[in-house]
Structure 1
Amino acid sequence: MTSTDDQAHPVEHDAETAAQSLQLRPEHAGRRLDQVLAELLPAFSRSRLQGWIEQGRISVDGRSPRPKDRVRGAESVLVEPLVERSQACAPQPIPLSVVYEDEHLILVDKPAGLVVHPAAGHADGTLQNGLLHHDRRLDALPRCGIVHRLDKDTTGLMVVARSLLAHRSLVAQLKARTVKREYRALVLGRLSSGGRVEAPIGRHPTRRTAMAVVAHGRPAVSDYRVLAQYRRHTLLGVRLQTGRTHQIRVHMAHLRHPLVGDPVYGGRQRASADDSSEAATLLQRFPRQALHAIGLGLLHPATGEQMDWQVPMAADLADLCAVLQQDAEHGSAAT
C-alpha cells in the first residue's frame, strides 16, 4: 500500500491524546519517572512514554526530565501525547456485522472474502477501511485497532481495540495467550478422537506464500475435539493456544486431515461415488477453506471482567455440514 500521508501527527479528537496534567503524590517519591507515568497513564506503554520524555513532550515542573530521573512525589507533570498513524487508510462504507461494541471494543463477525487490512493486491475494500468508516477515531490507533486477523476466506469473530487502553491490553492478552479463540473446522477424513497438535510453524521451504511445520519455526499449539463424524469428513472444534499464520490449516494438513476447500494445503478433493448428489455438488463447489471462528473470550480492558462471545456458524459451512449429516444418515440406513 502506498501512503500519501506518512507524517506522524497528533490526533486531537480522541480524549486519550489530549494534553494531560498530573500531580505526583508522596507515595511516588524515589521511583523512576517513566515507571510512575506508566502507572498513572495505563493507556500508554512505558516505552512510548520514554519516547515522549526524550522528545520533550513531557515536562516536570516546567523542565525537561530524563526517563530515569527519580521523582520527589510533589511535582506537576504535563504530558502532550503524540499518537502516530501507522498507515493511511481511507474510510469506506463496507457493511460490518457488529456483534458487540462499547467505548473500548468492537466485535465483528467477518464474512468470507473480506481481507482484514490493506496489503499488496488489496489496497482498499478491507475490514480496516470499513472499521474506519464505522468510527473515524480508530485512525488514532495502529492499524485502526486491529490486533489479530483472520484469513480472507475464514469467517467469524474478531475483536478490535477502540481505545489506546484497549489496544495495549489486547496485545498483552494475546502475547500472554489468555485470549480464548474457538473455531469450527471441517476436515477431510474421519477422526475418532481429539488431541493436541504441538508443531512449530514457519515459512514453507519452497513455497514462499505458504506456511509449514518446520523444525526451526515458531512454537504453535492447537487443541481439537471431534464434534461430528460424517462418511468421509469430520467436524472439529479447535482451540488455539498460539496464533501463527494459517495455524489451523497447517496443523490439520500436518495430521493429513486438511480443511475442506483449502486450496493451499490440500483440501480440494473429488467427491466419491458414495456421496449423495447434493453432498457431492456442495463439496465440489465449496469456495473456501471450511474454517469459522465461532467463539472469543477475553478480559475487558477497562473493567477486567471476563467476557465471552459466540456467533452461529457461517451459513455456507452450516449448510454443508447439514447435507453431510443427511448423507451420513442415509448411508447408514442403506446398510
Structure 2
Amino acid sequence: MAETIEQSRTVPDHMMGWRLDQAAADLFDDFSRERLKQWIKDGSLTCDGAPSKPKNKLLGGETLTIDARLEDSARWTPQAIELDIRYEDDHVLVINKPAGLVVHPAAGNPDGTLLNALLHHCPPLAALPRAGIVHRLDKQTTGLMVVAKTLVAQTSLVEQLQEKTVTREYDAIAMGTMIAGGRVDAPIGRHPRDRKRQAVVSTGKPAVTHYRVQERFRGHTHIRCRLETGRTHQIRVHMAHVHHALVGDPAYGGRLKMVAGASEALKEALRHFHRQALHARRLAFVHPASGEAVTVEAELPDDMTVLLHHLRLDNDNA
C-alpha cells in the first residue's frame, strides 16, 4: 500500500524572503526538490493550511505541512543483483554495499539499485515504504546498511536513528597529516551556490562528527569516524571543513595533491582512486523484535586496503 506522509515544519525567521519551494527543500530534505514542488502544485504541501505556489515568498513563522501519499515500492522492478548480506533474520537484514551501487531509484538511475536488488531477494519488501530502507549511503561509499523487513521493524529503526542510538562508524582516508582526533560540530545545509552539494552554513541543521586517528602517513591519515547525526554527505563535508578532505572525493576534495618524493606506486594508486575513501565499517542497533544489541562489522574494501598498503610502503621508504 502507499505510504502516507504527514509532516509539518515552521519556517525560521532567517528564511524571510525565500521562495516556498526553496524553503521546503531545506526543511524537508528527505524528499527531492521536484517531488516537493509537485506537492506544492497539487496542494499536498500547504503554507499555513492554504495552497500556495512554488515561487511565493515567505515572511518567516509560517507552518508548512505535507499531507501526501508516496507510491509503494511495488512499482519498482525486482532485479537479480548480487547482495553481500552480513546479517539476516525475519525482521531485519544488514548488507555490505559496494561502491557504485545507488541505494534508491531516481532520475538518472531508474533501476539497477539496491532497492531493486532487495525486492528480488525478499519480494514482501514491496509492501513497505522504500522497500524497508531506513538510511542511505552515497553511491560511491561502501559498507553497512540496515534494512527493515517488517513495518514494525522499520518504525523501530527510524526511531532509533532519530534518537541517535544507532552506532555508525566509518573508516576514511583523509588528505594531510592529522595530529590527533577531534570533534566537528558544525551545521550542514545545502550549498548556497551549488544545490547538488552540501556545506557548513549557519542556517544548516545541527551536525556532529567524532573522529580519531588510526594511522598517520607522510601526507595522509587513516581515520575512524562516528556519526552523532546523519546529514547528507556529513563526513565528507565536515572533514573538508577542517581542511582534511577525503582522498578521491569528487565533490569536496579539490585537486589531487601529491606528497613530495612519493613513490610512483603511490602516485598511481592515488590517481586511480576515483571515489571518496569512505567505508561504513561498523553498525550497531537494538533488534526491533528481541530488544537485544546487534553489532555487525565489515572489513575494508579492496581498493582502500590497496591504497593503505601503498601509503605504508611510502612511509617505510621515506
Distance 1:226 1:273 in 2: 22
Max Rg structure: 1
Query: Identity of paired residues, percent?
Result: 54
Specify the alignment match of 2:172 in structure 1: 185
Distance 1:87 1:174 in 2: 25
Q: For residues 201-225 of structure 1, what are the alpha-carbon distances to aligned partners after superposition, in whole Å with 9 as ceiling and x for unaligned?
A: 0000001100000001000000000
Contact 2:218 2:259 in 1 (8 A): no
Specify the alignment match of 2:224 in structure 1: 237
Specify the alignment match of 2:108 in structure 1: 121
Which of 286, 293, 300 is matched with 1:299 structurally? 286
Instruction: Say if 2:93 is the partner of 1:94.
Output: no
Distance 1:8 1:287 in 2: 38
TM-score (norm 1): 0.73
The AA in structure 2 aligned to 1:209 is K
Contact 1:155 1:293 in 2 (8 A): yes
SS at the partner of 1:183? strand
> How far 1:268 sits from its partner (Å)?
3.9
Q: How many residues align structurally?
A: 252
Distance 1:8 1:200 in 2: 33
Specify the alignment match of 1:155 in structure 2: 142
Distance 1:282 1:267 in 2: 17
Contact 2:2 2:129 in 1 (8 A): no
Q: For residues 165-208 of structure 1, what are the alpha-carbon distances to aligned partners after superposition, in whole Å with 9 as ceiling and x for unaligned?
A: 11010000000000000000101000010000000000000011
Instruction: Say if 2:246 is the partner of 1:259.
Output: yes
Distance 1:211 1:88 in 2: 30
Instruction: Say if 2:245 is the partner of 1:250.
Output: no
Instruction: Say if 2:267 is the partner of 1:285.
Output: no
Distance 1:212 1:129 in 2: 31
Specify the alignment match of 1:112 in structure 2: 99
Specify the alignment match of 2:40 in structure 1: none
> How far 1:326 sits from its partner (Å)?
1.2
The AA in structure 2 aligned to 1:124 is D
Contact 2:210 2:226 in 1 (8 A): yes
The AA in structure 2 aligned to 1:110 is K
The AA in structure 1 aligned to 2:212 is R
The AA in structure 1 aligned to 2:103 is V
Unaligned runs of 5+ in 2: 4-69
Distance 1:267 1:187 in 2: 12
Distance 1:228 1:115 in 2: 30
Task: List aligned pairs for 1:74-93, cutoff 5 A.
Answer: 85=72, 88-93=75-80
Which of 171, 190, 208 is matched with 1:221 structurally? 208
Contact 2:140 2:275 in 1 (8 A): yes
Query: After the TM superposition, which of the residue ranges 321-330 and 244-253 deviates more from structure 2?
Result: 321-330
Specify the alignment match of 2:316 in structure 1: 329
> How far 1:98 sits from its partner (Å)?
0.5
The AA in structure 1 aligned to 2:176 is G
Contact 2:287 2:294 in 1 (8 A): yes
SS at the partner of 1:297? strand
Unaligned runs of 5+ in 1: 1-6, 10-82
